[in-house]
């Protein structure tokens, strides 16, 4: 009976359970905090437009309210999603798509 190959996710899970000193060091990276940026759109403004901004000014963006948003770490897009309201009334992002390169890098 042949041994089926492990999926990348199964291998990653097995690696996380490995109790060796080398793996403990490797796993320590999971606690590193990174800044996740959610991009909802862009606007191109002149300096004079920026200087005219006041409270309650509206800056139109290039995207619509129901367009997908992009999630990025260090300006590298890792996923896309849609804006949602959380149970406590704050804004959240429901992931709808993972970038292929990000998935490969994560295992």
Mean pLDDT of the chain: 84
pTM value surpassing 0.85: no
Q: Does residue 89 or residue 22 have the better pLDDT? A: 89
CATH of residue 74: 2.30.330.10
User: Residue 25 domain-assigned?
Assistant: no
User: Residue 17 domain-assigned?
Assistant: no
Of the chain, the end-to-end C-alpha distance in Å amounts to: 27
The total of structural domains in the chain comes to 1
User: Residue 24 domain-assigned?
Assistant: no
Cα separation, 29 vs 1, in Å, equals 37
What are all long-range contacts of 38-42, with beta carbons under 8 Å and residues at least 24 apart?
A: 38/69, 38/70, 38/71, 38/72, 38/81, 38/93, 39/69, 39/70, 39/71, 39/72, 40/69, 40/83, 41/67
Confidence of residue 8 (pLDDT cuts 50, 70, 90): low
Give the model's pLDDT for residue 2.
44
User: Residue 58 domain-assigned?
Assistant: yes
User: Residue 16 domain-assigned?
Assistant: no
């Amino acid at each position: 009976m042949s041994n089926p190959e492990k999926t990348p996710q199964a291998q990653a899970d097995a690696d996380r359970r490995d109790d060796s000193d080398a793996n403990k060091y490797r796993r320590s990276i999971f606690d590193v905090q990174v800044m996740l940026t959610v991009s909802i759109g862009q606007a191109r403004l002149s300096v004079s437009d920026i200087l005219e901004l006041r409270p309650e000014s509206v800056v139109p963006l290039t995207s619509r309210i129901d367009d997908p948003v992009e999630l990025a770490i260090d300006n590298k897009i890792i996923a896309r999603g849609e804006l949602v309201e959380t149970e406590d009334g704050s804004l959240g992002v429901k992931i709808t798509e993972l970038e292929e390169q990000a998935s490969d890098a994560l295992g």
